[in-house]
Amino acid sequence: MSIELNLDMMEENIKSRVTSFSEEILSNVSEKLCDIYLVGPAARGEFSTSNPEITLLLVYSEISIDTLDKIAKLGKTFGKKGIRAPILLTKEYITGAQDSFAMELLDLSLNHIHLGGGHSLNNVAVDNSDLRLQCERECRSWRLRLRANYLKSAGDATWLNRWFVESVADLFQMLRATAYLLDINVKVGNTEIANSLSEKIGLDMNKIVKVWEHRKNSTAPAKGDSRVIFTEWDAMLTKLENLIDGLQITATEND
């Protein structure tokens, strides 16, 4: 399938990094490629030169191990430019996973820049009852994960802080989905999501925002902060778990 790229909607510092990678994909891994999107922090205007976090979503009609091998070979060259391993989905997966993968597909559908091909994400229609259930399950899972990694650190604050920084983006995906259920605007950056939730339901998210800032700036929290970060994250997740559990959701789909 021949795809014409349109990269004009991106900032120049993102465009310069994405152009060569996208052209490489089209030249060498274009078989059965349907769509190309920019997703993640860069698509939401949260680009940081110190930690670019540029992620593309590639939608194929079919994904084979040969496809994976070809894309994997590009990692060393483009990883140095801030290009993360792309998200690979099929059109069939997007259609069939909207009940069990509601949180992730909602995030992709509401926060992306279309770069070429068709518009597979336009067909995402997430049922809010499925989304609420996944948010509750994810929140409960996060509490277990948080405690497990606190123990796994064996008192090593540097290790634990590294885990906080590496994990915070995934935490924001769950927070964004919860904000959506609460009718909060989610087409904004992570800091804005945290601030909106804090205002709406009185959650203290100072340390979550601070860790996100560390991630964007490629810095690390102070060793003495690890216990404070754990305490705040655990308290936030506990309150959020109770709130999500009590939500009365009518089965509806996103626009």
pTM for the whole structure: 0.89
Q: Using CA atoms, how far apart are residues 219 and 161, in angstroms rounded to an integer?
A: 10
The residues, ordered by sequence, that sit 6+ positions from 163 with a Cβ below 8 Å of its Cβ are 149, 153
Give the pLDDT confidence of 139-183 residue by residue, as tens digits: 999 999 999 999 999 999 999 999 999 999 999 999 999 999 999
In order of 39, 140, 234, the CA distances from 137 in angstroms are 24, 5, 15
Predicted pLDDT of residue 203: 87
Per-residue b or e along 16-35, where b marks 16 or more CB atoms closer than 10 Å to that residue's CB? ebbeebbebbbeebbeebbb
What is the amino acid identity at position 128? Answer: N
Helix axes 157-181, 128-152, angle to 10 degrees: 170
Predicted pLDDT of residue 252: 59
Query: What share of the chain in percent tops pLDDT 90?
Result: 78
Assign 71 a pLDDT band (cuts: 50, 70, 90): very high
Per the document, the length of the chain is 255
